[in-house]
Amino acid sequence: MKADVEKLHAENPAAPIPVDLVTASGSGLDPEISPAAAEFQVPRVARERKLTEADVRALVQKHTLRRQFGFLGEPRVRVLELNLDLDANHPRR
């Protein structure tokens, strides 16, 4: 976990590291992440995909689920859907 924190801090030194980026489910494959975790990764994804950060943020918003009925659960980003959208419409060059 300490190594993950150090790696993430090196990637984005000015931003606080969302806890769900350094913790994971038993499988390590989490289908959803917090909006904060997605936001933390926006600069890297934009750089890798040759997109603007605003474009990546718009895609994150598109794949963000809100609280059910406005009060149940927490907002979350569907990682698989976001990655499929990025791959289909903005492949790595």
Q: Residue written as tokens 């990764």? A: 41
Helix (H, G, I), strand (E, B) or coil at 76: strand
Q: Which residue has the higher pLDDT, 20 or 42?
A: 42
Residues 16-42 have a mean pLDDT of 84
d(CA 55, CA 74): 24
Average pLDDT of the chain to the nearest whole number: 89
From CA 19, how far away is CA 5, in angstroms rounded? Answer: 9
pTM > 0.75: yes or no: yes
Q: Say if residue 27's pLDDT is above 80.
A: no
- Residue with the two structure tokens 């492949």: 91
Contact yes or no for 24/42 (Cβ under 8 A): no
DSSP run (H or E) holding 32: strand 32-33
Q: What does the longest C-alpha to C-alpha distance in the chain come to? A: 41
Q: Helices 35-49 and 79-89 sit at what angle, rounded to 10 degrees?
A: 20
Residues found in the chain? 93
